[in-house]
Structure formats: structure tokens, C-alpha cells
Amino acid sequence: METKRGRELTREELQTINLARKREFGSRYQLQPALDNREGDSIFFLLKNELDKTLAVGKIQDIKITFKNRVCLIPCFSTVIALQKHLGYGRLIMNAIKMYGEKQEKTIVGFCETSILPFYQQCDWEVLSPEDNRFLYVDINGNVIPNIVPGEVIFTRGKDKLMEQILNGDDKTAGVYRN
């Protein structure tokens, strides 16, 4: 498993990731990590074979949330793609992301469509029940954007106890800043 910042990705790695994103998610947006953007600071997890061919990829990027009247950055995983399915490569990426969170002692979250929740559950990640999901999109001023939610919340608990604070506090709402 290789980890590197987005700005350190080779042209070939970036091309592989962008093609995989287009195939997997229908994404038209091309990642363009640079020294001065969030993608450049994102951490990419690359599973490669002995010939240096990428088999799977995942990404962690800090996202801004508002919780208990304060704004904080938390790691959010995304872009988990196995280029060949049903060989355990996606699980290896998710395990590496979880281990990263443990080393950083931080809660890591992700948002996904309901249809792929079983994959994350098989990887031993927790899923917030619909009753406990208090994540909402907010605009740049911190105002809730109505009628849109970030999706299902997948997470692994960190020593920072962030998820416990969200679930057990009086204010169970966490706003996710939407770019």
C-alpha cells in the first residue's frame, strides 16, 4: 500500500484515478491536485501490484464541519474504487484508511449512497442509523441548505471522541460545508 499527497501523484496515477472515477461514478470532474488546492493536500491510498499497476484507490480529504457553534476539520474518505471487483482490494483500501485514522487518533467519516452500505459494513465500518444521522449540508455562512443531505454516514471512531460528542450531545446536528 502506497500513500501520497495528491500533489505527489504521477501523471499516470492521476489518469488512472480520473478514469476510474468516470467509470465508477460517472464523474466528469477531473481531479487536478496542485500545491494550492485541497486535492493537493488530500492523502491518496494506492494499492498496486508487483508491476506497479494500480489495483485500487482511496482518498482522505479534510472537510469542514460546524458542530456546537464551532468549525473544525475532520478527515473524510472518498473515491474508494477497486479497479477489479470482488478480489478484496476495496477492503484493503478501507483497512488502510482505518489504520490511518487510528494512528492520527481521529474519527474518520464518509458519505455514500444506501446501495453500497453493505460493502462498508463488511469492512467493519459503522453506519449511522437514519434516526442518528444529523449531518446536514450548510452554505459558506453556516446556514442549512434545505432538502439535501450528504448521504449515509459511515465512520470509524477515533480517540478524539467526535462521533460520541455528536451522538450524545444536546445538539446532535453537524453541518457539512458544501463547496
pLDDT in tens, 29-85: 888 887 778 788 999 999 999 999 999 999 999 988 887 777 888 899 999 999 999
Average pLDDT over residues 129-138: 74
Q: What domains does the chain contain, in order, with CATH numbers?
A: 2-177 (3.40.630.30)
For the chain, the average pLDDT equals 87
**Percent of residues, the chain, with pLDDT higher than 90:** 55
DSSP string covering the chain, please?
-EEEEGGG--HHHHHHHHHHHHHHH---PPP---TTSHHHHPEEEEEE-TT--EEEEEEEEEEEEEETTEEEEEEEEEEEEESSSSSSHHHHHHHHHHHHHHHHT--EEEEE-GGGHHHHHHTT-EE--TTT--EEEE-TTS-B-TT----EEEEE--TT-HHHHHHHSS---EEEEP-
pLDDT higher for 26 or 92?
92
pTM of the model: 0.88
